[in-house]
Amino acid sequence: MAPIQRQGPGWRLAIDPSRSPYQALIGGEGWAIELTGQELAELKNLCERLGAEHQALADQLMAEEQLELCLEQGHWWLELSGDRQQWALRFVLEGAALGAGRGAEGHWPAPASGAFVRALLQGDCF
């Protein structure tokens, strides 16, 4: 797979499978973190699950209602918060996944969160 470089206002995604051990970089406004292929695959899976849950609930919400969805799996914790049309995404990646004493936390506000997740889910990243 050829390297992938996608970005937009408030988000960034770069994937280069030839690099080791960190094959991906995700970022937001003023922050970025490198991820292994496995970590990226786990993030992609959780984003798919959160997106499906949001979609299933969105039609049941009134325009002014807010929702908050959280998922935790392995070393990841993700939170989607917003309304039926727009949402923000926040994550915590436990330090144990990244090596001794290293951890990460990040946030994409709306609409950057939706654009990042669409880019992550496009194609076959890992």
Better-predicted residue by pLDDT, 30 or 1: 30
Contacts of 25 (CB under 8 A, 6+ apart): 12, 13, 14, 15, 32, 33, 34, 35
CA nearest to 106, candidates 83, 126, 79: 79
State pTM to two decimals.
Answer: 0.89
pLDDT in tens, 59-87: 887 877 888 899 999 889 999 998 888 89
pLDDT in tens, 102-125: 689 999 999 999 999 999 998 665
Question: Would you state the pLDDT for residue 64?
Answer: 79
Contacts of 122 (CB under 8 A, 6+ apart): 6
pLDDT in tens, 84-99: 888 999 999 987 655 5
Inter-residue contact 24 to 35 (CB < 8 Å): yes
Domains of the chain: 36-121 (2.30.31.10)
